[in-house]
Amino acid sequence: MRRVKVKLRACIILTAMCIVLTGCNEQEDTGIFAEAKKTEYEEDGIKYIKEEGSRLTIAYPVIDAGKFEGYEEEQIASYLSSSSGSVGKVEDYGYYYITGMDWTQVYTDESIERIEYTFYNGRAFFSNECLNDISMSNGNYTGRAVSVSLSGQSDLYLNMALEFKSTDKEYQSNRQTGFSEEKAFADILENGIIGAKLYYKDGTQRQEYLKIKTSSESRWSSGSIYRLVEK
């Protein structure tokens, strides 16, 4: 009888630990993405990662994030964007989700003629239009540097594109939870690095790197932008 009580007590403890560690899996975002073939290549001296999924093919430039270890973060702007997006039909493989946000007026120094923005290390890319419709590019996107005038920064869009696995939860249209989707996009922004090459009117140039911090782990449409400064 005593052995039964001990075993029962152990099971209860283990169950409680699982609940604490997993949160009942309601907000678990591990393994939520659809399968994609990942390859690496180099073009014009820039390294890229290419991810080929069922409906989307995304290529983005990569930079060694380790080179910024120990850098200070100096807040230079904040943003608040009305996000828009396009969600594809849920199929056997899953579904795509393309969304984006309005960029903001990060730089205000009038001696700057133009800025060249590049998003590194994630499935996001700058463009002069909001690419939330897969038919605009047949699902193929490559992140490259985009040049814009000082006054035209707010006309830029920062687009993101993901493919998620479908689920058996009909009450949420067989999609991942809203929390998981939003957190996935927030992770792209927070893990990425933005290159900002400044071209001044006097002909000089300056390379800066930026980081985004979202307002919360599941709300990416607002947050702050930081300049990475070497100590």
Contact 132, 85 (CB under 8 A): yes
pLDDT along the chain (231 residues), means of 10: 42 39 38 94 96 94 95 95 81 91 94 98 92 68 95 93 94 92 95 98 98 91 96 84
Q: What was the pLDDT predicted at 129?
A: 82
Locate tokens 């869009």: which residue? 157
Q: What was the pLDDT predicted at 88?
A: 87
Confidence (pTM):
0.83
Q: What was the pLDDT predicted at 218?
A: 81
Q: Where are the beta strands (DSSP E) in 188-231?
A: 193-200, 205-216, 219-229
SS3 sequence, 32-75? CECCCEEEEEEECCEEEEEEECCCCEEEEECCCHHHHCCCEEEE
